[in-house]
Amino acid sequence: MESRALSAALEREHREIDEGIEAFTAALAKGEEDTAPLTRAMEALRRHIYLEEEFLFPPLRDAGLMAPVLVMLREHGEIWRAMDRLDAAVARGPADGGAREMCDELLELLDRHNSKEEPILYPQADAVLKPEVLDRLRDLLATGRLPEGWVCRQARA
């Protein structure tokens, strides 16, 4: 994987996650309760946060980007808690549990987060990641596996 391809892949995931959430809310607006796009988006978002926190952020922090990484970690906690609330709303009933409003809230959080992460951290990641980290990220992007029970740092009890 070319390092530049990493930032492009991560940005593409941002768009795909947004599209999954938007597809779910569009279905709700038509009176449909198809949760599959949302389920895929939430799985992708949790894996994406894992990939960043475990493999992307440590080398960036070591390269002197402590403050931006801390902001991203804090925002990951907000995003994770919003996903947990959304999961609970969907379990109550997608149309009745406030899921659409929670999706709108999550999309706003993601927009604010991604608008900082993409221009600030991703270019630096392209510059500082070592080949072994790129290899690990390549594997994660290909397999889509999140370790069982993993929770982002700022959402851990």
Confidence of residue 3 (pLDDT cuts 50, 70, 90): very low
pLDDT in tens, 46-68: 999 999 999 999 999 999 999 99
The total number of structural domains that make up the chain = 1
In a domain, 151, yes or no: no
Q: How far apart are CA 26 and CA 45, in angstroms?
A: 19
For the full predicted model, state whether its pTM sits above 0.85: yes
Given this model, what pLDDT does residue 1 score?
43
Distance in angstroms (rounded) separating the CA atoms of residues 79 and 29: 23
Q: Would residue 155 count as lying in a domain?
A: no
Q: How far is CA 49 from the centre of its chain?
A: 5
| Cα 56 from Cα 52, distance rounded (Å) | 5
Q: Specify if 156 maps to a domain.
A: no
Domain hosting residue 17, numbered range = 3-144
pLDDT-above-90 percentage for the chain:
67
Would you put residue 31 in left (φ > 0), alpha (ψ -120 to 50) or beta? left
What amino acid is encoded at 56 in this protein? Answer: L
Residue 17 counted as domain residue = yes
Tell me which residue of 58, 59, 69 sits closest to 116, measured CA to CA: 69
Residue 92 predicted with pLDDT over 80: yes
Q: Is residue 101 part of a domain?
A: yes
Q: Could you tell me if residue 149 is inside a domain?
A: no
Q: Does a structural domain hold residue 120?
A: yes
Q: How does pLDDT run across 121-135, given as a tens digit for each residue?
A: 998 888 888 888 877
pLDDT > 70: what percent of the chain?
Answer: 97
Residue 2 clears pLDDT 70, i.e. is over it: no
Query: In terms of Cα–Cα distance, which of 93, 122, 90 is closest to 106?
Result: 90
Q: Is residue 154 part of a domain?
A: no
Q: What is the CATH number of the domain that holds 52?
A: 1.20.120.520
- Choice between 132 and 36, residue whose per-residue pLDDT is larger: 36
What does the pLDDT read at residue 144? 74
